[in-house]
């Protein structure tokens, strides 16, 4: 539980949740996720991970603009070397104009691998069923997991007594699937959507490469999280990350797991006060005739556009 009072206009205010012992992360951890009960305060949720050399790195989760339970996740820093630990989770506010007091609950912290074998079934999805809203015991109270190996798609690092999470937890069924792609709204222009304007962070990815430039992408995503821009636009050229017919991540990627991970990370960047747009090429089977006009749909919190 993170109870805070950020009523003062100080530049930096923070509250910390620290386990009695650092939580050991399994080898190959690429994503750290957790269930968060938000109070709508809009403050920044972060964590700290450390490696065997004593280096410490921040992990950036979304600003908590929602009310109720939501699953969030973030990429583990690539600079980590050797055994790694999660040392703390904290709520912080750097903007003097954002004030308030409240409580945020943390539960079911989990680690997921970034490799193909570890991410295949995870699909960057929640590792467990939504906790009970009455839950008040933070998951971080347990010091470590029992197994150092990541044998399941999402490995819970700890669980409160009220949680039903197990090591072999499965992803819950979706409440509602995405809608069929449709034309842009009247007055919307794809050229305007990708134009670099104040408040919009635009990055372009060459999707024809065998692998995506993950270190560079992580830096760009971190810049967006820490900045004041309200919209992130990712332009994917030479590839399609989402199939326009099935709406399943993968598209034309050589490795569909990269598409799943990209969509999962983009979903964590849309936190209620920010929006995320993924613009991609139409698929080869459609390119002969081409799309008469760009189509779009929502996949989670991400607006996906086929051009």
Q: What is the pLDDT of residues 232-253, one digit of tens each?
A: 999 999 889 998 888 888 888 8
In the predicted model, what is the mean pLDDT of residues 218-227?
87
Q: How many CB atoms lie within 10 A of CB 114?
A: 18
Q: What is the DSSP letter of 209?
A: S
Spatial distance between the Cα atoms of 228 and 230, rounded to a whole number of angstroms: 6
Spatial distance between the Cα atoms of 25 and 285, rounded to a whole number of angstroms: 43
- 119 pLDDT more than 60: no
Could you give all domains of the chain from N- to C-terminal order, each with its CATH number? 2-156 (2.60.120), 182-306 (no CATH)
What pLDDT is recorded for position 88? 92
Which residues, at least 6 apart from 280, have a Cβ–Cβ distance to it below 8 Å? 207, 236, 239, 240, 241, 242, 251, 304, 305, 306, 307
pLDDT digits (tens, 9 = 90+) for 162-187: 332 333 333 333 334 568 888 988 77
Q: What is the DSSP letter of 130?
A: P
pLDDT digits (tens, 9 = 90+) for 54-70: 888 889 898 888 888 88
Kind plus residue range of the DSSP H or E element containing 225: helix 214-226
- 15 pLDDT more than 70: yes
The per-residue pLDDT of the chain, averaged, comes to 76
Residue 283's pLDDT band, with cuts at 50, 70 and 90, is low
In the predicted model, what is the mean pLDDT of residues 154-163?
41
Percent of the chain past pLDDT 90, that is, above it, reads 15
Number of Cα atoms under 13 Å in the Cβ half of residue 209? 10
Residue with tokens 């698929």: 283
- 216 pLDDT more than 70: yes
What pLDDT is recorded for position 125? 47
Cβ(42)–Cβ(65) under 8 Å?
yes
- 214 pLDDT more than 60: yes
Task: Flag whether the pTM goes above 0.95.
Answer: no
What pLDDT is recorded for position 232? 93
Residue 52's pLDDT band, with cuts at 50, 70 and 90, is confident
């Amino acid at each position: 539980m993170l109870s805070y009072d950020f009523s003062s206009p100080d530049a930096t205010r923070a509250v910390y949740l620290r386990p009695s012992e650092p939580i050991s992360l399994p080898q190959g951890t690429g994503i750290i996720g957790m269930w968060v009960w938000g109070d709508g305060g809009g403050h920044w949720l972060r964590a700290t991970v450390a490696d065997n050399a004593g280096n410490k790195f921040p992990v950036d989760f979304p600003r908590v603009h929602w009310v109720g339970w939501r699953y969030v996740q973030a990429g583990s820093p690539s600079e980590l070397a050797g055994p790694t630990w999660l040392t703390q989770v904290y709520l912080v506010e750097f903007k003097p104009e954002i004030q308030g007091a409240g409580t945020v609950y943390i539960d079911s912290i989990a680690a997921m691998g970034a490799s193909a074998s570890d991410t295949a079934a995870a699909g960057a999805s929640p590792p467990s069923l939504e906790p009970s809203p009455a839950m008040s015991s933070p998951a971080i109270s347990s010091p470590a997991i029992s197994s150092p190996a990541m044998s399941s798609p999402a490995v819970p690092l700890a669980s409160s007594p009220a949680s039903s999470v197990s090591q072999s937890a499965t992803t819950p069924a979706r409440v509602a699937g995405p809608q069929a792609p449709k034309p842009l709204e009247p007055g919307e222009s794809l050229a305007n959507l990708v134009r670099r304007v104040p408040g919009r962070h635009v990055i372009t990815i060459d999707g024809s490469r065998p692998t995506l430039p993950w270190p560079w992408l992580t830096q760009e995503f971190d810049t967006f999280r820490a900045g004041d821009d309200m919209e992130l636009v990712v332009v994917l050229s030479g590839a399609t990350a989402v199939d326009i017919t099935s709406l399943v991540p993968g598209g034309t990627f050589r490795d569909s797991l990269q598409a799943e991970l990209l969509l999962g990370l983009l979903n964590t960047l849309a936190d209620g006060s920010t929006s995320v747009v993924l613009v991609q090429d139409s698929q080869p089977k459609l390119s002969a005739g081409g799309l008469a006009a760009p189509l779009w749909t929502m996949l989670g919190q991400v607006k996906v556009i086929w051009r």
